[in-house]
Amino acid sequence: MFYDLHIHSCLSPCAEDEMTVNNIVNMSLVKDLDVIAICDHNSTKQLGTFKRVSEGKIKVLYGVEIQTIEEVHVLGYFSRYEDTIGLQSWLDEKLIQVKNKPKFFGNQLLVDDMDEVCGFEENLLISSVNASIHEVCDIIHHFHGVVVLAHVLHRKNSVMTQLGFIPKDLNYDGIEINFEADKQKIMERNPYLKEDVFWLINSDAHQLVDISEPVNVLSEQAISCLWRNGV
């Protein structure tokens, strides 16, 4: 399956307003992708619309990108939308409360099934949650999700740029990279990596043109882990 499992909707302040749910789904279909995920910053509130709009069109996972208290980005993936509802209650409690300034950070738009704006998130979603990287991994697993360490090696807010290493006792399932060659570099710097870890190459798209072309294919290991709880 060709995939892109890290796409930001217009709910994320860093994404363009054109990143509405229908636009994301339709662009992914134009690009012949088989499975996609929306991963907004510290919020799952756009995923109900995503579930309805994508139904019968394209296979999806329900995602989120959480920023830990160490300012590390962690991706959570859920095969069942229902599991994200409890996680959202946890995020509402844990997100450090800072009001968004749209002129500075960008809009945080909620859209309905017709891509009409139906709400605004007032709290800044690119703040951290008041929880450690270990706690974030644990809460994702608690709600039957899969943990992937985001954009390791190259991007700001990755576990490698913030901590310098992947903690030996961290309970994660996969690692997101930018290039295939990154695997060897990460393994050399963290020789104790979990043997059953799987690897993803995603776009981290913030505008429609950035959504991946049909290049990257999910491994059997990734498929087995990502859908271990069924669809």
Average pLDDT over residues 35-54: 98
Give me the sign of the Cα torsion angle 100, 105, 106, 111.
Answer: negative
18 φ, ψ (degrees, to nearest 5): -70, -5
Look at residue 229 in the predicted model and tell me its pLDDT. 58
The size of the chain, in residues, is 231
Whether residue 231 has pLDDT greater than 60: no
Pairwise CA distance, residues 99 & 124, whole Å: 5
Average pLDDT over residues 24-29: 98
Pairwise CA distance, residues 222 & 129, whole Å: 27
Whether residue 230 has pLDDT greater than 60: no
Pairwise CA distance, residues 218 & 96, whole Å: 34
Look at residue 134 in the predicted model and tell me its pLDDT. 98
pLDDT tens, position by position, 98-115: 999 999 999 999 999 999
Look at residue 190 in the predicted model and tell me its pLDDT. 96
Tell me the average pLDDT of the chain: 96
Model confidence band, residue 160 (pLDDT cutoffs 50, 70, 90): very high
Whether residue 117 has pLDDT greater than 80: yes
Whether residue 17 has pLDDT greater than 60: yes
Average pLDDT over residues 147-162: 93
Kind of pairing, strands 59-67 and 3-7? Answer: unpaired
Whether residue 217 has pLDDT greater than 50: yes
Which among 147, 186, 183, 136 is positioned nearest to 165, based on CA atoms? 186
Domains plus CATH for the chain?
3-226 (3.20.20.140)
Pairwise CA distance, residues 189 & 165, whole Å: 7
